[in-house]
Amino acid sequence: MSHTVEWRVHLFLFEDEGRTKARIELDTGESALTGRGVARCNPDDEDVPAIGDELAAGRALHDLGEQLMRAAEHDIERVGAPPASPRPRPGYGWIA
C-alpha cells in the first residue's frame, strides 16, 4: 500500500522577559496540534540566544511528539486494538 501525505509545520520562537518561548504548529490537513516549550538562561551563565532557541524548540518538539503519540494510541484503541503498555521514561536528566 502506497501512502504519501504532506504535513505542514511552523515553528515560532519568541524572546520575552528573559525567556525563550517556542510554539510549533502541525497541520495534517485533518487535524492541528500545537506544541510549546520554554527556556530560561541562568543569570550566572553567558547569554547565548541560540542555546535558548534550541532548548525551547526541542521542548516544543517533544511536547508535540507526546501529543502525536497520545493521538495515535487513542486511534489504535478506537479501532479495537488493546491498550498499549506504558512507555518507560527516558533515563537522562534530573529526576523530578
pLDDT digits (tens, 9 = 90+) for 38-65: 999 888 888 888 999 999 999 999 999 9
Output the pLDDT for position 95. Answer: 44
Output the pLDDT for position 96. Answer: 40
In whole angstroms, give the CA distance from residue 50 to residue 59: 14
Assign 50 to helix, strand or coil. Answer: helix
Inform me whether the pLDDT recorded for 69 exceeds 70: yes
C-alpha cell at 12: 515560532
- Radius of gyration (C-alpha) of the chain in whole angstroms: 17
Q: In which region does residue 25 sit, left (phi positive, over 0), alpha (psi from -120 to 50) or beta (all else)?
A: beta
